[in-house]
Amino acid sequence: MSNLIHVLVVDDDFHVGGLHRDIIAARPGFAALEPVRGVREARAAVRDRHPDLVVCDVYLPDGDGIGFVAELAVDAFVISAASDGATVRRALRAGALDYLIKPFEPGMLGERLDAYRRFRNLAPEDRRLDQDAIERAQRVLYARESGAAPVSRSTTERLIVELLREGEASASDIATRAGISRATAQRHLASLATRGAVEVTLRYGSTGRPEHRYRVEG
């Protein structure tokens, strides 16, 4: 019997789904199932391929990813570009174990997968748990294990935070002012947003495509 954790990615973007599949496949202890692009395909994949974990986007062409997560009897992460508090809280209410804002560094998903694997080891389905065991499993899942070193900010992240203290800005604005590429600015901003160090809002322009705007309080 395989001890691998089988993971199904649900994302309407074929390229993004493939990237996440490859991150999962490269992680020791995990096996990546072929990604699917919608709710109907995802339901069939869960029924036929029996994943241990589903990594699901919010906006799918034939339905709501969070609604799909709510109906699952399988562990799930939600991964989405949506960063508003209402969506995040709805995902957590639906039962998502974690929520990651796209785009993010590949290592971030890898770290969450490792934490999930340790969580499963500490909270196996065939064992009774006392309160201490439950709390330890929760700390491990959310990277709050006692004694863990705090996440430190890089020089670039500290500069970005200081620039945001001057006012709300987009990733392009920050890239220009910090003298870095837009991709680098976006990567650091996504990491800061995931850790709650910056806030993200959406602004809709004349083209209808939303722009992410970042800010810090105080």
The DSSP annotation for 48-89 comes to HH--SEEEE-SEETTEEHHHHHHH-SSEEEEEES---HHHHH
Could you tell me the pLDDT band of residue 103, with boundaries at 50, 70 and 90? confident
Asked if residue 1 has pLDDT above 60, the reply is no
Say which residues have a Cβ less than 8 Å from residue 35's Cβ, sequence separation at least 6: 8, 9, 10, 11, 14, 17, 18, 20, 21
Cα–Cα distance list, 206 to 45, 83, 170 (Å): 39, 21, 16
Structural contact between residues 8 and 51, judged by C-beta atoms closer than 8 angstroms: yes
How confident is the prediction for the chain on average, in pLDDT?
88
Helix or strand (DSSP H, E) at 137: helix 131-141
- The β-bridge partners of 8 are 54
Asked if residue 177 has pLDDT above 90, the reply is no
- Dihedral of alpha carbons 54, 88, 67, 210, sign: negative
What share of the chain has pLDDT > 70, as a percent? 91
Answer whether the bond into residue 103 is a cis peptide, omega within 30°.
yes
Nearest to 215 by CA among 181, 192, 182: 192
Q: Give CA torsion, residues 178, 181, 187, 190, to 10 deg.
A: 50
Of residues 133 and 34, more confidence is placed in: 34
In the prediction, which pLDDT does 148 show?
Answer: 41
Region 178-189: mean pLDDT is: 86
Region 185-211: mean pLDDT is: 79
Say which residues have a Cβ less than 8 Å from residue 121's Cβ, sequence separation at least 6: none
Range name among 92-96, 141-145, 174-178 with the lowest pLDDT average? 141-145
- The β-bridge partners of 204 are 210
Region 189-196: mean pLDDT is: 82
The DSSP 8-state label assigned to residue 202 in this structure reads E
Say which residues have a Cβ less than 8 Å from residue 43's Cβ, sequence separation at least 6: 68
State whether residue 62 is helix, strand or coil.
coil
Of residues 204 and 23, more confidence is placed in: 23
Is pTM beyond 0.85? Reply is: no
Domains along the chain with CATH numbers: 5-141 (3.40.50.2300), 155-215 (1.10.10.10)
Of residues 68 and 175, more confidence is placed in: 68
Of residues 210 and 111, more confidence is placed in: 111
Asked if residue 96 has pLDDT above 60, the reply is yes
